[in-house]
Amino acid sequence: MRRTYLGEFEELVLLTIGVLHGQAYGVSISQQIEQHTGRIVTFGAIHNTLVRLEEKGFVASELGGATTERGGRRKRFFTLTTLGKSAIVDIHQLRNRLWDLMPDAALNLSGI
């Protein structure tokens, strides 16, 4: 099977969708990323990444109900697909294996 690789920001968005579990839409994803990383991201960056992840099959989306607070517009909610869940588990396992292989001396920060 050909593996589809994720960029760092795509991985971050996928993880955030998992964290929000059922409540992930553009603004909530952006807020979570900002809260947990201190990184301010534009809605456009989130939107483009969500489109890309959906095209790759890592997320699925559906429209929620219309709300008066949004002027009758509906939110698009995102969830992880089986492929998306598998991708983040694979990434997690790979990172853990690499951390386990790193010698302590590689992180000796006393010279900094």
Dig out the tokens for 112 from the structure. 């900094």
Give whole-number Cα distances, 6 to 9, 49, 62, 67, 72, in Å.
Answer: 8, 11, 23, 34, 35
| In the chain, domain spans | 8-102
CATH topology for 8-102? Arc Repressor Mutant, subunit A (1.10.10)
Dig out the tokens for 7 from the structure. 């960029």
Rounded to whole angstroms, how far apart are CA atoms 84 and 25? 16
pLDDT in tens, the chain (112 residues): 456 688 999 999 999 999 999 999 999 999 999 999 999 999 999 999 999 999 999 999 999 877 777 666 788 999 999 999 999 999 999 999 999 999 888 888 666 5
pTM reported for the whole predicted model: 0.84
Rounded to whole angstroms, how far apart are CA atoms 32 and 41? 10
